[in-house]
Amino acid sequence: MKKLLLLSVICITLIGCKNFGKKEYVLVIMSQSEYSGITVSEPKTIYAKTDSVAYSLALDEFMVDKIIANSREDDDTFSQYVKHPISFILSDLEGNRIDFPEMKAEREKILDSL
């Protein structure tokens, strides 16, 4: 019984330390489709040590969504339902918007070359 309790405490400690020292950010992606117009995704939590790392993670997720939407567009049957990501908003828990336009411009160049 003591071993089980000790194992539980260790697991809880490790899980709690996973995001220790990291700030919490909220990511929302706006998408557009012919069928549903403009929609807003459910807020997603991102944990990162700095604003730039959080923005990079958010931008990566946005770009992956864009690539997936572009690959789905080839199927004529469902093309009107495909949600194309058009922008995203990253903010900290106080509501301050996090933005690095130069990082987005660089990644857009890479995406256009694919």
Q: Give the 3-state DSSP-derived string for 6-38, with helices as H, strands as E and coil as C.
A: HHHHHHHHHHHHCCCCCEEEEEEEEEEECCCEE
For the stretch 3-23, pLDDT in tens is: 555 455 555 555 555 555 688
Distance in angstroms (rounded) separating the CA atoms of residues 51 and 55: 6
User: Are residues 83 and 62 in contact, defined by beta-carbon separation less than 8 angstroms?
Assistant: no
Per-residue tokens: 106: 């660089």
Give the predicted TM-score (pTM) of the model: 0.69
For the stretch 66-112, pLDDT in tens is: 888 888 777 666 677 788 888 899 999 898 998 887 777 777 776 67
Distance in angstroms (rounded) separating the CA atoms of residues 7 and 13: 10
